[in-house]
Structure 1
Amino acid sequence: MALGDAFGSQFFVPANRHTLSSRLLPPAPWQWTDDTEMACFVYRVLADHGTIDQDELATSFATRHDFDRGYGPATNRMLRLVREGGDWRALSAGLFDGKGSWGNGAAMRVAPLGAWFAGDLAEVVHQATLSAQVTHTHPEAVAGAVAVAVATAVAVGDPGLSAGRFLDRISEYVPASAVRDGIAEARQLLTISDPTLAARMLGNGRQVTAHDTVPFTLWVAARERHDFEAAMWTTAAAGGDVDTTCAIVGGIVAASESNHLPPQWRGRCEPLPGWAGTPPLDSEPA
């Protein structure tokens, strides 16, 4: 997931945009963003508690929050207020005139959770919901987090599924929402191969909402689950919120045991933070 995030973030640099057509790797180092930092918080809470402790996750988000990683303004403000003693429950629920955020932030960070609970999809749904609610209470944001978490779990547990059945399996667990409707549309678009056309129909994260982000990432993941590099180039070609879409797709695709992260890519990515307790990105897979 971090590798996808860091790769995608390079295409916000104007000098690197020409590499999309030529598929030349952007120069190192590739820096990851808030997507990866928040995913590391999720992983650390799971490693320490075996479950999503919402209070612990909120505290982790707030105390280790790095403003320069590209967080959105609403999240920056909320985490600052939590750090100053605010109640995360009230702050999260109160965002956007009490509707809660329907942004893609809960979906972008959840892949490690899906892999963690991959043997129990009902538990994946429950834990993904808990993880989302700390910052995103709107039902669309929760549905987006559930969809990505379930997709990652299915990639772990059922790597041989066809693209269509992969999306069908995810939809079984996503609550009624625009996100689920988007997944159904993605299912209908599996016969096309042009990511820009798919993104025109499904969104590419440009609106930074769950329902404008998650369906397209699942379309890519369904088609390219067995080729990490192809999945990344396909995702980036659609533009939009490229670091987040590549992070989501990267987390899902890399979860399949048949996929190994390309060494040349791993060597270009910024190391993960030491406190996360994860293996280094440039290490050989177990």
Structure 2
Amino acid sequence: MISDDTEHTCLVAQLLIEANGDVDRFARLFASRLRWWILALPAGVVKATTRAGIKLWLGAKPASAGVFSAGNGPAMRAAIFDAAIDDVPQMLEFVRASSRVTHSDLKAEFGAIAVAFAARHSRVHQQVDANLWLSDVVNAVGDDGSELTNLLHRSVDRVSAGESTKSFANSLGLPKGVTGYTYHTVPVVIHAWLSHPEDFRQAVTAIIECGGDADTTAAIVGGIVGAGVGEAGIPSEWVDGIWEYPRSMKWMRSLGERLDSSATIAPSINPIAVLLRNVLFLFIVLFHGFRRLAPPY
């Protein structure tokens, strides 16, 4: 089954179709849908997104709903912007709008920008040029993002030195797993991407082996590498093994096809089916969590 990371990617794709290039309309639609998304009891939703959703229900405007958090929520839904928008300045406008609805800390926005540029680079260039990608990020985030770009420079250097992603994560003080802090998430994600730019299986496996917030970090790496290799580059057993409704594989393919066309109406989704699905998903998550507490461990 898919996690909230994929749900947000699908949500953004729907809204990009409906906004039809209007970033203000996108922000309003995102804020509106986010309120209802929170009410559908999504499993794994993080504190910052929940608080932003509550603020929206209390009447906050999209531009002021974001909470001061440097979480990786904006980064997890950033790769899809590259798939839909070729114009770089416009892409950055949408990435920033998406970030600010839930997170007001610029660190979260900078992390999302780095991911969006990585997906773009993966899609546009046959061979990855880490320095070219990094220069795009540096120009976009400016001096305010120097802390992140320094970490990204470190990622690039450690990949060149042949260091594993797990070892790189440990060098950042993350031996127990990659956290949801975007300046932990994004550098390790980028390391996994640059280590395996055309190997979806290895890139995703490498980031999962780091532990921590693995559903989100794997989703971000998958979005970046997937932008380059497409569905054909994803292990077929992973795709065939997805058991999901109402966001089925057929529905997600239809969503992707419309996003890649001039369509202005996105595939709809039954909210009652989403709620029932989320209850089942939550039960499965809790079952696995309690099962791990019982022998045999």
Which bin holds the TM-score, normalised by the shorter protein? 0.7 to 0.9
TM-score with structure 1 setting the length? 0.77
- Note closer, same or farther for the CA distance 1:91–1:164 as it changes in structure 2 (3 Å cut): closer
Q: Which moved more, 1:193-202 or 1:183-192?
A: 193-202
- Equivalent residue for 1:230? 202
Q: Which position in structure 2 is the counterpart of 1:104?
A: 72
- Deviation at 1:85? 3.7
Q: Go from structure 1 to structure 2 and tell me whether the alpha carbon gap of 1:255 and 1:203 turns closer, same or farther (over 3 Å shift).
A: farther
In structure 1, runs of 5+ residues without a counterpart are 1-30
Q: Cα offset for 1:202?
A: 4.2
How far apart are residue 194 of structure 1 and its match? 1.8
1:87 equivalent to 2:61? Answer yes
Q: Counterparts of 1:122 and 1:265 in 2: how far apart (Å)?
A: 34
Distance 1:154 1:199, change over 3 A: same
- Does the 8 Å CA contact 2:72/2:185 hold for their aligned counterparts? yes
- Is the Cα contact below 8 Å between 2:155 and 2:190 reproduced in 1? yes
Shift of the alpha carbon at 1:208?
1.4
Q: Which is worse superposed, 70-79 or 125-134?
A: 70-79
Correspondence for 2:167: 197
**Once the 2 structures are TM-superposed, how far is the Cα of residue 46 of structure 1 from its aligned partner?**
0.4
Q: With the length of structure 2 as denominator, give the TM-score of the two structures.
A: 0.74
Structure 2 runs not aligned, ≥5 long = 261-297
CA distance in 2 between partners of 1:169 and 1:107 (Å): 16
Superposed CA RMSD: 2.7
Using the TM superposition, give the Cα deviation of residue 164 of structure 1 relative to its aligned residue in structure 2, in angstroms. 4.7
Letter in structure 2 aligned against 1:234: A
Higher helix residue share? 2
* Identical-residue share of aligned pairs (%): 27
- Asked if the contact 1:150/1:173 (under 8 Å) is kept, the reply is no
* Aligned mates of 1:45, 1:213 — CA distance in 2: 25
Task: State the Cα distance separating 1:130 from its structure 2 match.
Answer: 1.3
Q: 2:14 aligns with which of 38, 44, 54?
A: 44
Judge conservation of contact 1:144–1:179 (CA < 8 Å) in 2: yes
Matches within 5 A, 1:215-254: 215-254=187-226
- Counterparts of 1:148-163 in structure 2 under 5 Å? 148-163=115-130
Aligned length: 246
- 2:181 counterpart letter in structure 1: T
Alpha-carbon distance between aligned partners in 1 of 2:90 and 2:120, rounded to the nearest angstrom? 10
Distance 1:222 1:151 in 2: 9
The alpha-carbon deviation at position 217 of structure 1 amounts to: 0.5
1:168 to 1:220, Cα distance in 2 relative to 1, 3 A: farther
Taking a change above 3 Å as real, the CA distance of residues 220 and 135 of structure 1, as seen in their structure-2 partners, is: same
Relative contact order, CA 8 A, sep 6+: which one is greater? 1
Alpha-carbon displacement from aligned partner over 1:143-169 (angstroms, at most 9, x marks no partner) = 001111111111111132344544444
The separation in 2 between residues aligned to 1:154 and 1:174, in whole angstroms, is 17
Offset, 1:131: 1.1
Equivalent in 146, 154, 157 of residue 188 of structure 1: 157
**Are the aligned partners of 2:117 and 2:133 in contact in 1 as well (CA < 8 Å)?**
no
Contact 1:272/1:280 (<8 A) preserved: no
In 2, the alpha carbon distance for the partners of 1:232 and 1:247 equals 8
Query: CA–CA distance in 2 between the matches of 1:270 and 1:173?
Result: 39
- After TM superposition, list the pairs within 5 Å mapping 1:1-286 onto structure 2: 31-51=1-21, 52=23, 53-65=26-38, 66-92=40-66, 95=67, 100-117=68-85, 119-176=86-143, 177=145, 178-190=147-159, 191-202=161-172, 206-257=178-229, 260-271=233-244, 273-274=246-247, 278-279=252-253
Distance 1:240 1:208 in 2: 8
Distance in 1 (alpha carbons) for counterparts of 2:182 and 2:162: 23
* Amino acid corresponding to residue 170 of structure 2 in structure 1: R
